[in-house]
A and B are shown apart, each in its own frame.
Chain A
Amino acid sequence: DAGVIQSPRHEVTEMGQEVTLRCKPISGHDYLFWYRQTMMRGLELLIYFNNNVPIDDSGMPEDRFSAKMPNASFSTLKIQPSEPRDSAVYFCASSLDRGVTEAFFGQGTRLTVV
């Protein structure tokens, strides 16, 4: 398996534009997580899914953020409209059910909003 695949690796966009980040989890994993990482706040959990169902979205900062998981092999995180303070590295991770010790992370998407 190629691991968790995220696209794009880098995204530069203008304030107010819509941004869509994509993730393909490891096949067979039941959980999918979206994290945001900044120097100031570290790794923050935004939302996670279990079997394609959103379980906890309390980390989503505002209504401008939304996430979907239409099937077991694909998830998106959308920001609309984007703002400069959304600039961060966004990671997708997946884990097995009862995988309380290991989440497998993708390479991340580095988002810059200018």
Chain B
Amino acid sequence: QKEVEQDPGPLSVPEGAIVSLNCTYSNSAFQYFMWYRQYSRKGPELLMYTYSSGNKEDGRFTAQVDKSSKYISLFIRDSQPSDSATYLCAMSFNTGNQFYFGTGTSLTVIP
């Protein structure tokens, strides 16, 4: 079993829809939870991160962490065609610098 599991999709939604992306994990010691966005033929870029449990909002994006369920989510409101990309969740411990990535979910927002 991989440490981080993510549904690869693909996910296709109409413009303006609310998108929900999710990951589950097995190691309860993870403390930092990140979402990276990767456009086609580019490297991943950090979108946002959350420390421990709770919610974090940044514009149209909201990240949620439920440590009791070992489940994290990224919500995108009013989705735009420019949001079309692959979204990767990632996690790390409180010490050290190793990142554990999900396989990514491919999202297409149709105009």
Contacts and interface: CB of A to CB of B under 8 A. Distances in A.
Contacts of B42: 107-108
A42 B32 contact: no
Nearest to A99: B97
Contacts of A43: 44, 88, 101, 103-104
B44 A105 contact: yes
Contact of A100 (B32, B45, B101, B104): B32
B103 A48 contact: no
Interface residues of A, number: 26
Contacts of B32: 100-101
A15 interface: no
Contacts of A101: 32, 34, 46, 49, 51, 92
Given A43-B104, A45-B99, A100 B93 contact: yes
A14 interface: no
**Dominant SS at the B interface?**
loop
A18 interface: no
Interface centre among A35, A43, A106 (most CB of B within 10 A): A43
Given A43-B104, A100-B92, 19 more contacts: A42-B101, A42-B102, A43-B88, A45-B98, A45-B99, A100-B31, A100-B95, A100-B96, A101-B34, A101-B49, A101-B51, A102-B34, A103-B46, A103-B99, A105-B43, A105-B44, A105-B45, A107-B43, A110-B41
The 10 closest A-B pairs by CB, nearest first: A42-B103, A105-B43, A43-B101, A101-B49, A102-B46, A100-B92, A31-B97, A100-B32, A105-B44, A101-B32
Interface of B: 6, 8, 31-32, 34, 41-46, 49, 51, 88, 92-99, 101-104
